[in-house]
């Protein structure tokens, strides 16, 4: 009996010692719980619209291949909070991979044209947090993805910040660890750097985002730090007070992709200010951003075929030369960081942006919307109380890149829908 108990105790200690360090925020940087600065090297991962983290066999195959090129993160856009994700999360943890997870669902997201924030949305976001807070490799939550896709969408920014406030309060009231909560923005030139500053401004830390992320596809082909626009992006974050990274990147208008932007992102010109990037995307689809495929495309009309013809499970096969290009660039990327103990943050929150007619229609000094408010543009041009508690209607497809600077993701705006999104939407209805 004592031998058995001793063996069990040793096994428990081994499990604890092998647990992946958790991620937290200090100043403008991410750190692991063992005190090292953390730089995101990630891949966007959404095999199926509803939830890619429930097929344990597929997760094992994909995590194992990701590990071979040094991936330490994936971004997942939608999950089903009602089912267990234990096996998939364990597979990714075993591979040293963290998950950056969007909290919204297809029906609970905040939309810029008629923004509102209510109990139904808060509870849906909270349900995702309830399921995933338990996993040490849950790196952070996104409270929104490209909610603002035009300069006229600035009226929705207070609702994003209100959601941040309420989800941070929800996290703390539940006694969960201090999981970072941030926002993933479309690369809209007219909104830079106003939006990032608004979401982190003010003296009340309970209302500020913990990190900011940008979906940017500016570096295309044979460019450099200056010609790509990355120097401009970096100049806009030199004094930013929370971590910032690229939550989507990987322009594919010039083929093959060489991913030379990664050299800059993890180099000395950007690492003092940026915390890495996430490549769009894992699976090959109609939008031609994939790094791998699960077999050749098939005739969509054949029996049992996926609607867009792209298989979504099985053995992942790297697509060359782009997989090899990314592997080579990441292997050479060795960002220089600082230890948490040695880091002394000195940056402070920016001033809240003033209202600018036609560009930024938000009063930075105004109180945030309370739970249950909606925007009534024709009446007051400010948030007002709504009697409705219903979640917003409509179907939000999984994220798809903009492909150009200053244009929001087509996944957020049907009127800007491209070929890739058409395939995603077809897939959505097929998988339902």
> Token match 């229609």: residue?
361
Residue of 131, 218, 248, 322 marked catalytic:
248
Task: Please choose, from the candidates 203, 106, 112, 110, the residue with its C-alpha nearest in 3D space to the C-alpha of residue 162.
Answer: 110
Strands 116-117 and 138-145: unpaired
3-state per-residue secondary structure call for 143-154 = EEECCCCCHHHH
Is 93 catalytic? The answer is: no
Is 376 catalytic? The answer is: no
Contact between residue 243 and residue 312 where contact means Cβ atoms under 8 Å apart: no
Q: What angle do CA 406, 202, 271 make, to 5 degrees?
A: 55
Tell me the CA end-to-end span of the chain in Å, nearest whole number. Answer: 51
Residue of 146, 281, 322, 340 marked catalytic:
146
Question: Both tokens of residue 403?
Answer: 């492909």
Alpha helices in 260-357 (DSSP H): 261-265, 322-332
Which residues have CB under 8 Å from 88's CB, separation 6+?
53, 54, 55, 56, 59
Which residues have CB under 8 Å from 151's CB, separation 6+?
188, 190, 191, 358, 359, 360
Phi and psi of 3, rounded to 5°?
Answer: -65, -45
Distance CA 142, CA 385 (A): 25
Question: Both tokens of residue 20?
Answer: 């992946």
Question: Both tokens of residue 240?
Answer: 């930013």
Catalytic residues: 146, 248
């Amino acid at each position: 009996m004592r031998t058995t108990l001793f063996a069990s105790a040793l096994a428990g200690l081994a499990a604890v010692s092998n647990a992946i360090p958790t991620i937290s925020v200090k100043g403008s940087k991410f750190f692991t719980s063992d005190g090292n600065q953390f730089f995101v090297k990630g891949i966007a991962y959404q095999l199926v619209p509803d939830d890619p983290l429930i097929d344990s066999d597929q997760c094992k195959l994909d995590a194992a291949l990701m590990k071979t090129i040094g991936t330490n993160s994936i971004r997942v856009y939608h999950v089903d909070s009602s089912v267990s994700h234990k096996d998939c999360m364990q597979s990714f943890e075993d591979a040293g991979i963290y998950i950056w997870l969007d909290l919204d669902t297809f029906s609970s997201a905040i939309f810029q044209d008629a923004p509102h924030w209510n109990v139904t949305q808060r509870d849906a976001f909270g349900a995702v947090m309830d399921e995933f807070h338990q996993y040490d490799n849950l790196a952070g939550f996104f409270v929104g993805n490209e909610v603002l896709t035009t300069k006229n969408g600035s009226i929705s920014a207070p609702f994003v910040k209100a959601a941040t406030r309420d989800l941070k309060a929800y996290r703390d009231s539940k006694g969960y660890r201090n999981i970072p909560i941030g926002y993933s923005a479309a690369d809209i030139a007219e909104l830079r750097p106003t939006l990032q500053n608004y979401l982190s401004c003010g003296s009340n830390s309970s209302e500020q985002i913990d990190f900011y992320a940008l979906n940017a596809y500016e570096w295309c082909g044979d460019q450099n730090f200056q010609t790509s626009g990355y120097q401009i992006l970096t100049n806009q974050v030199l004094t930013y007070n929370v971590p910032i990274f690229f939550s989507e990147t990987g322009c594919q208008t010039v083929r093959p992709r060489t991913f030379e932007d990664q050299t800059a992102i993890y180099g000395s010109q950007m690492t003092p200010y940026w915390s890495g990037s996430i490549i769009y995307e894992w699976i090959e689809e109609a939008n031609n951003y994939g790094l791998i495929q699960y077999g050749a495309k098939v005739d969509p009309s054949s029996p049992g075929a996926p609607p867009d013809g792209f298989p979504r499970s099985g053995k992942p096969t790297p697509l060359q030369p782009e997989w090899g290009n990314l592997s080579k660039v990441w292997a050479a990327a060795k960002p220089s960081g600082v230890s948490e103990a040695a880091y002394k943050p000195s940056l402070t929150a920016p001033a809240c942006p003033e209202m600018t007619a036609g560009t930024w229609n938000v009063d930075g000094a105004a109180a945030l919307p309370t739970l249950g408010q909606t925007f009534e543009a024709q009446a007051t041009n400010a948030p007002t109380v709504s009697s409705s508690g219903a979640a917003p209607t409509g179907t939000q497809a999984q994220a798809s890149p903009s492909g150009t600077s200053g244009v929001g993701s087509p996944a957020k705006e049907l009127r800007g829908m491209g070929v890739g999104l058409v395939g995603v939407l077809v897939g959505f209805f097929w998988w339902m």
